[in-house]
A and B are shown apart, each in its own frame.
Chain A
Amino acid sequence: MNELINIIPNPDPLPVAPGWFQFLSYLTYFLHLLAVGIMFGTAVSMALGYFKGKKDDSWMPFAGRMSRILPFTIAFAVNLGVAPLLFLQALYGNFFYTASLLVGIPWLLIVVVLIIGYYSAYWLVFKNKDHAKPKPWLSVIISLILAWVGFMLVNVNTLMMTPHRWKSYYDHMNGLHLNVSETTLFPRYIFYLFLFLAIGGMFISLFYKIKDKFEESEKGFHFGSALSGYFAFLSVPAFALFLLVLPREINGVFLGGNGLWTVSALIFILGLFVTAFLAFKRKTTAALHVLVVDLIVFVFVRAHIRQLYLDPFKEKFSTLAQNTQYGVMVLFFIVLAAGLGVVAWILIKVAKEKEA
């Protein structure tokens, strides 16, 4: 253990108490989770829509609508990913940077492939305006790119929690390393993909529930509900598998070792079942409420899993700096409130004008 502690880089001090960063990272990660789910669900639905559109033209308006929504969803998924990553780096930067160094090349490739995927999404909107021709393969490529970004994030996240794997650095100093030997990697990744598709499907069904006058509204609503239902249901065994492959001292906490966390994990699983049931019953609003609460529970469960992984290395956690920055944090909250206020105000103003 001492040898492991020795190789963990020394942390920098925190400008405010760690609890604030935990709160901010949970809050923004929850928003990011929703945004990524919507983005990935939209991309996959677009691809499926185009494939179906090859045989049945009635799917083309649906695929076209998804392709028009996709660039917005990428913009917000990226944007909402910045904040949790920032707060994560404040808390666990020394673990995170080391992990990203080990996978340096594929990690940086995210930037290149995401630009390609993002531009391709815009290309579908601006160059394929009438959606006369299905673009299934380009849609698949965009979806794969987005899935790749998720895969890399799971790589870094699992690596940062397992310093005993860092010695592989000496075999891959160029950063051409993937954490594929980590048992939890694929169960965790597959669980996330399923959860994202459940969130994305929920978004699509909600979208068409509100926008029910489009020619494809009914089709889209049913598609979204089914996608959400199936993948919320599939997320249950995926999550169970993910829990089971965790190290015994960690999964034990969620499997009876600790009452609160066992109940939390059960609530999450139950929530997924209820979401799936309500989605299959086309009760979108109720399903949405359950899913949102369920995701909040999941954010805490996920954070606790990381906490349990990192607890043995507590002495390498950041401590509070001598020069604190509570005033700057208050300024951030003021700017955040004002910024969200401005956004809401301008959105309402535009909506009113368009209505008029």
Chain B
Amino acid sequence: MNYPVWYIPAVGGPLVIALMAIVHVLVSHFAVGGGLWLVLTERKAYKEKKEFILDYVKKHTKFFMLLTMVFGAITGVGIWFTIALIHPDATSSLIHSFVFGWAIEWVFFVIEIVTAFLYFYTFKKISEKTHMLIGWIYFIAAWASLFIINAILSYMMTPGKWLQTHNFWDSVLNPTFWPSSLFRTFLCFALAGSYGLLTAAKKFKGDEKKNLVKYNGKWILYSLMGMIPSLVWYYFSLPQSAKDGIGSGAVIMRNSLIHLIAGLVVFCLLWLFFVLWKSEKLSFAGSIVVLLSIFVFFGAFEFIREAGRKPYVIGQHMYVTGLTVSQQEELKDKPILQYAKWVQTKEITPENELKAGEELFRIQCVSCHSLGIKNNVNAILAQRDLKQITRNIGSLRGITPFMPGFVGTGAEKNALAKWLYSITHEGMPEPEPEPAPAAAAPDGETLFANNCSDCHEITGSDALVVKMKTVESIDEIMEMLGKLEQLNEDMPPFEGTDEEKKALADYLNRLRSEK
């Protein structure tokens, strides 16, 4: 609301962030794991006096140098640019909170660059001891970068005591900082070992291959021994709201969990098969599957972390819309178009209602949704009528734990609903005919379908059904229907007639009596 919105509805911001982040996150973790892998593998070469291992390390050095220098560095800047385009409020908040954290990270970046160049260009040209020392410095600098960035990432998930104190160290030492640091560190090593496995399978045969497959296998084993417990620790360090989001059963979350578990299981099984049992059988294709499985696992983890943080961009502090929690509370029912700096429609009239609707979509929805490729709203809304869309907007938190509630007046909600309807259907609906005076008595089940079924269903675990089993009488249900918005801020008030309210209460009462 503070900044203009970069508006490309056909693509959507999340897709751009995802593309940039996938590349950068993979590369940066590779660079860290690769740092330790290089120096320890070099030590192995000297210890075993095996020239082929030294050559093997040298080739990897070039790969890691190019990867770090080009992809790592540039996509790192790219992520910064991208989040500033999609979430400028959050970026500004993070920069002002962590400016010296980032500045320290920049110093490590300088060291990383110098030592990466030195390590590559002095290979076999200086003493073994000095060369390995350079390798150690490179690794420590790369890991220190990860350590600092991880502090910022974990703070965004779990700001912890910072919410009260606004103290820098409280934001760094947040509840998930240590488990996340450990998890990412071991993940870096697993990635490096998996890549080493791939190059060993491709370049070598016989005993040389066996030697290197076993060696990289050990990397993976030790990584898994640290990675799995730290992942569990990470999960248990999450706040209940994030755990609820992860366990919400939402399709995207369920699919990600399946990917996470499947990736890890396949990775472990392949490791057992190829490293412990048939190391000479490891083919190039097999090693690619190993690498892909850890990518899938890693990608799913990052996706779950990102989604689990929603509806916040900075946990319990700032929503994805750029509004802080206190601003959201303050503006909940206020005219948001008048508050937002970057909209042209300040007052809604019948003539500009659709334009206002689009502006509301722009300032409240496009940080997560598109009308095209990723997280698009078209498919879902095309199946809903205007009334349902309006009701959905009024109860976003009830529909999914990943969305912040709608901010704005009833007229603004209607404008957004009409605009969404107009782009997902052909034109606007015909005005509803006046009900015939002698209409049939309202039907409770239909009223439930029209008013409640977007968020509730008649199953034993549904919050409404559970609640119904605790009420004592139909009068209590009538009373509840009269103050839905007080019972749960995400529920819109019941807007039917008294007769309809009675019919719906009768229907719900039947549920109660089934207890």
Say whether A41 faces chain B, with CB atoms less than 8 Å apart. no
Say whether B96 faces chain A, with CB atoms less than 8 Å apart. yes
Q: How far is the CA of A111 from the CA of B24 in the complex (A)?
A: 12
The segment from B164-172, B239-247, B385-393 found at the interface with A is: B164-172
Chain B residues with Cβ below 8 Å from A339 are 107-108, 110-111
How far does the Cβ of B482 sit from chain A's closest Cβ, in whole Å?
A: 40
- A86, A173, A322, A336: the one within 8 Å of B99 (CB): A86
- B16, B88, B101, B137: the one within 8 Å of A328 (CB): B101
Closest to A323 in B: B166
How far does the Cβ of B43 sit from chain A's closest Cβ, in whole Å?
A: 18
Contact A346 B134 (CB under 8 A): yes
Q: How far is the CA of A20 from the CA of B134 in the complex (A)?
A: 33
Contact residues, B88-103 vs A (CB, 8 A): 88-89, 91-93, 95-97, 99-103
How far does the Cβ of A39 sit from chain B's closest Cβ, in whole Å?
A: 13
Closest to B109 in A: A79
Listed residue (B75, B78, B82, B114) with the most chain A CB atoms within 10 angstroms of its CB: B114
Chain A residues with Cβ below 8 Å from B82 are 108
Q: How far is the CA of A29 from the CA of B305 in the complex (A)?
A: 36
Q: How far is the CA of A110 from the CA of B81 in the complex (A)?
A: 10
Say whether A187 faces chain B, with CB atoms less than 8 Å apart. no
Contact A14 B75 (CB under 8 A): no
How far does the Cβ of B150 sit from chain A's closest Cβ, in whole Å?
A: 17
Contact B111 A342 (CB under 8 A): yes
Chain B residues with Cβ below 8 Å from A79 are 73, 106, 109-110, 113
Closest to A166 in B: B4
The answer to whether residues A346 and B104 also contact, given A101-B85, A111-B20 and a CB cut-off of 8 A, is no
Contact A82 B106 (CB under 8 A): yes
Q: How far is the CA of A168 from the CA of B89 in the complex (A)?
A: 21
Chain A residues with Cβ below 8 Å from B104 are 331-332, 335-336
Say whether B233 faces chain A, with CB atoms less than 8 Å apart. no
Chain B residues with Cβ below 8 Å from A150 are none
Contact A83 B113 (CB under 8 A): no
Chain B residues with Cβ below 8 Å from A71 are 69
Say whether B448 faces chain A, with CB atoms less than 8 Å apart. no
- B3, B71, B106, B118: the one within 8 Å of A350 (CB): B118
Chain A interface extent, by class: 35 or more
Contact B127 A353 (CB under 8 A): yes
Contact B96 A111 (CB under 8 A): no
How far does the Cβ of A348 sit from chain B's closest Cβ, in whole Å?
A: 11
Say whether B301 faces chain A, with CB atoms less than 8 Å apart. no
Say whether A201 faces chain B, with CB atoms less than 8 Å apart. no
- B74, B100, B134: the one within 8 Å of A329 (CB): B100
Contact residues, B66-85 vs A (CB, 8 A): 66, 69-71, 73-75, 77-78, 81-82, 84-85
Say whether A325 faces chain B, with CB atoms less than 8 Å apart. yes
The answer to whether residues A15 and B97 also contact, given A97-B84, A115-B74, A353-B130 and a CB cut-off of 8 A, is yes
Q: How far is the CA of A10 from the CA of B117 in the complex (A)?
A: 42
Contact with B along A329-356 (1 / 0, CB 8 A): 1011001100110110011011001100
Contact B96 A15 (CB under 8 A): yes
Contact B74 A350 (CB under 8 A): no
- B78, B103, B133: the one within 8 Å of A111 (CB): B78
Contact B20 A75 (CB under 8 A): no
How far does the Cβ of B278 sit from chain A's closest Cβ, in whole Å?
A: 36
Contact B114 A347 (CB under 8 A): yes
The answer to whether residues A343 and B344 also contact, given A78-B77, A101-B85 and a CB cut-off of 8 A, is no
Contact B7 A174 (CB under 8 A): yes
What's the tally of chain B residues with a CB closer than 8 Å to chain A?
A: 64
Contact A93 B106 (CB under 8 A): no
The answer to whether residues A343 and B114 also contact, given A78-B74, A93-B96, A354-B126 and a CB cut-off of 8 A, is yes
Closest to B122 in A: A350
Contact with B along A300-325 (1 / 0, CB 8 A): 00000000000000000010011101
Listed residue (B2, B20, B99, B114) with the most chain A CB atoms within 10 angstroms of its CB: B99
Say whether B342 faces chain A, with CB atoms less than 8 Å apart. yes
- B3, B74, B117: the one within 8 Å of A97 (CB): B3
The answer to whether residues A6 and B92 also contact, given A323-B166, A336-B107 and a CB cut-off of 8 A, is no
Contact A108 B78 (CB under 8 A): yes
Chain B residues with Cβ below 8 Å from A75 are 69, 73, 113, 117
- B4, B16, B95, B122: the one within 8 Å of A102 (CB): B4
Contact B74 A7 (CB under 8 A): no
Contact A76 B113 (CB under 8 A): yes
Q: How far is the CA of A331 from the CA of B143 in the complex (A)?
A: 18
Chain B residues with Cβ below 8 Å from A321 are 96, 166
Contact residues, A6-45 vs B (CB, 8 A): 6-7, 9-15, 21, 24
Q: How far is the CA of A71 from the CA of B89 in the complex (A)?
A: 35
The answer to whether residues A118 and B70 also contact, given A90-B99, A93-B92, A97-B3 and a CB cut-off of 8 A, is yes
Contact B100 A331 (CB under 8 A): yes
Say whether A94 faces chain B, with CB atoms less than 8 Å apart. yes
Say whether B507 faces chain A, with CB atoms less than 8 Å apart. no
Contact B92 A94 (CB under 8 A): yes
Chain B residues with Cβ below 8 Å from A151 are none
- B5, B89, B103: the one within 8 Å of A173 (CB): B5
Closest to A324 in B: B168
Chain B residues with Cβ below 8 Å from A328 are 100-101, 168
The answer to whether residues A350 and B134 also contact, given A90-B95, A101-B85, A108-B78 and a CB cut-off of 8 A, is yes
Contact A104 B66 (CB under 8 A): no
Closest to A110 in B: B81
The answer to whether residues A13 and B96 also contact, given A72-B117, A100-B81, A108-B78 and a CB cut-off of 8 A, is yes
How far does the Cβ of A292 sit from chain B's closest Cβ, in whole Å?
A: 20
Contact residues, B1-48 vs A (CB, 8 A): 2-8, 16, 20
How far does the Cβ of B77 sit from chain A's closest Cβ, in whole Å?
A: 7
Q: How far is the CA of A208 from the CA of B241 in the complex (A)?
A: 63
Q: How far is the CA of A9 from the CA of B66 in the complex (A)?
A: 39
Q: How far is the CA of A122 from the CA of B20 in the complex (A)?
A: 22
Q: Can you offer 17 A-B residue contacts whose CB atoms are under 8 A? A: A7-B341, A12-B92, A15-B99, A71-B69, A78-B74, A83-B103, A97-B92, A107-B85, A111-B74, A111-B81, A122-B66, A170-B344, A325-B168, A343-B110, A346-B115, A346-B118, A346-B134
Q: Report which A residues bind B (CB closer than 8 A).
A: 6-7, 9-15, 21, 24, 71-72, 75-76, 78-79, 81-83, 86-87, 89-90, 93-94, 97-98, 100-102, 104-105, 107-108, 110-111, 114-115, 118-119, 122, 126, 166, 169-170, 173-175, 318, 321-323, 325, 327-329, 331-332, 335-336, 339-340, 342-343, 346-347, 349-350, 353-354
Given contacts A90-B96, A349-B130, 20 further A-B contacts (CB under 8 A): A15-B168, A78-B73, A82-B106, A89-B91, A97-B88, A101-B6, A110-B81, A111-B20, A115-B75, A118-B70, A126-B62, A173-B362, A175-B6, A175-B85, A321-B166, A325-B168, A329-B100, A336-B107, A346-B133, A350-B126
When A and B form their complex, which 5 residue pairs have the shortest distance between CB atoms, in order from nearest?
A: A111-B78, A12-B96, A173-B7, A97-B88, A339-B107
